[in-house]
Amino acid sequence: MTEPAWSNLFSGAPFEFRFGARPGDPKGFFESSPEHDSRVQLRREIVAEHPDRHVFQMSNSHDAVTELIRWAGLESGGCRELAQHWEQDFMVLLPEEDGQDVFVAGAICFPSSWAPEEKLGLPVHTIHDPVPTLNEQLGVRIGKFLAGIRPGKAWERVNWGLSGSPRLNQHPAVRIPAMALPLELDLMWVRREDQVLFRLPENGALIFGINVINISVAEIAADPEGRAGLRQALATMPEEIAEYKNLTVARESLVELLTQ
């Protein structure tokens, strides 16, 4: 029996940032889903309309991107071609002399309320700075973990957030409305982000893949375990994190709905 898409997202314990990496399969991660054609078409439209927001390739990334193109099975091209070949988003990060991995290329068509163009050229630690308590809780661990990833090894993890829209592209410029009262469970979605991390053998570039899956909150609430897990996560989420996730107005009401 196939597990629901929300399975293992909520631990049942009080909210905390969890790294939770497990051995991964990068080739399998970038395989096509049944929604491949529609997602790739949407990506083409997004890239055509706003390439500056969604496709990036710094001059120092040429060799790494060329290697990634070969790894993906394409004969030529760059990040724009990969953006329209894969349905998943990806970032290319190059290690600097101090060991930090810096975002130098990629295609992020489905960002979750962040602006990728503002992060280009920044190391992972700085990219995470706006997320309250994340660097304090996991920053050192994440840095050591990334530095320890060697070619031939891959890791996967999962992250989640909430949105009042099922739209895949939630770049801040799109201005997705914040969840507002009165709430309806079937008009809210958990944005699940499956992530993969692996290094290319020739250039040592770290590849970070992201796959977004929308899950209706009504679907989660229909299952006692899912309902209890989401309610616990929301009820125990620190105020500054709820504010960062645009949940300040809606959180109390949503917890009440999930309690009924």
Tens digit of each residue's pLDDT (9 = 90 or more) over 184-242 = 999 999 999 999 999 999 999 999 999 999 999 999 999 999 999 999 989 988 888 88
Helix (H, G, I), strand (E, B) or coil at 5: coil
pLDDT value of position 247: 81
Question: What is the Cα 142 distance to its own chain's centre?
Answer: 15
CA 21 to CA 212: how far, in whole Å? 17
Write the DSSP string, 169-208: -B-GGG-PPPP-SSP-GGG-EEEEEEEEEEE-TTT--EEE
Question: What is the Cα 253 distance to its own chain's centre?
Answer: 26
CA 190 to CA 76: how far, in whole Å? 36
Least Cα distance to 142 among 29, 18, 15 occurs for 18
Tokens of 39: 């997602």
Answer yes or no: is 3 within a domain.
no
134 pLDDT higher than 70? no
Banded model confidence at residue 248, pLDDT cuts 50, 70, 90: confident
Answer yes or no: is 248 within a domain.
no
Residue listed under structure tokens 């163009």: 117
pTM: 0.91
Banded model confidence at residue 147, pLDDT cuts 50, 70, 90: confident
pLDDT value of position 133: 43
Average pLDDT over residues 125-152: 65
Tokens of 101: 């991995």
What is the Cβ-side half-sphere exposure of residue 192, based on CA atoms within 13 angstroms? Answer: 17
Query: Cα torsion at 102, 29, 231, 138 (round to 10°)?
Result: -30
Answer yes or no: is 253 within a domain.
no
Tokens of 41: 């078409």
Measured CA to CA in angstroms, residue 255 lies from 15, 26, 150, 153 at distances of: 14, 36, 42, 40
pLDDT value of position 132: 40
CA 143 to CA 141: how far, in whole Å? 5
Tokens of 115: 């602006």
175 pLDDT higher than 60? yes
Answer yes or no: is 55 within a domain.
yes
Contacting residues for 68 by C-beta, under 8 A, at least 6 apart? 82, 90, 92, 200, 205, 207
Answer yes or no: is 230 within a domain.
no
Answer yes or no: is 6 within a domain.
no
CA 103 to CA 119: how far, in whole Å? 7
Answer yes or no: is 244 within a domain.
no
Instruction: Give the range of the structural domain holding residue 99, as residue numbers without chain letter.
Output: 22-181+189-216
Tokens of 7: 């399975």
Please return the burial class of 206, using the count of CB atoms within 10 Å of its CB with bins 0-12, 13-18 and 19+. Answer: buried
Total tally of structural domains belonging to the chain: 1
Answer yes or no: is 259 within a domain.
no
- Residue percentage of the chain with pLDDT more than 70: 92
Residue listed under structure tokens 């071609």: 81
